[in-house]
Amino acid sequence: MFLAKVTGSVVATQKAESMVGQKLLVVEPLRVDEKDQSSLKGTGRTFICVDTVGCGEGEVVLIVQGSSARFTPQTGKLPIDAAIIGIVDTVQIGTKEVFKTGT
């Protein structure tokens, strides 16, 4: 899995019928800054994910990719390869809290 920031959303009226009603969010994957290991930074990449946890823009989330994205109650047999499965409260690296929600 990887950490990502929710940056936006996608509207697609014409789509696979099973996808109707699924919220499609734009996310940017994050990584631990390799210089000082004390913050998260964006990678510049762009993924589209189905939201299974009711998250909102600006939140840091946990993303699962591949066939496992179909292993949540909401995503059963959907034609998707990425889902948001958690909203991150904190990320700790060593003794340092590098991310805390709401700060």
Please report, as ranges, the residues that interact with its own copies according to CB under 8 A: 1-3, 7-19, 24, 26, 28, 30-32, 34, 37, 42, 44-49, 52-55, 57, 62, 64-73, 75, 77-83, 85-94, 98
Shortest reach from residue 19's CB to its own copies, in Å:
6
What's the rounded Cα separation, in Å, for the pair 54 and 94? 30
**How many CB atoms lie under 10 A from the CB of residue 75?**
20
Q: Tokens representing 62? A: 């946990």
Sign of CA dihedral 50, 55, 60, 61: negative
**Which is closer to its own copies, CB of 11 or CB of 103?**
11
Shortest reach from residue 103's CB to its own copies, in Å:
14
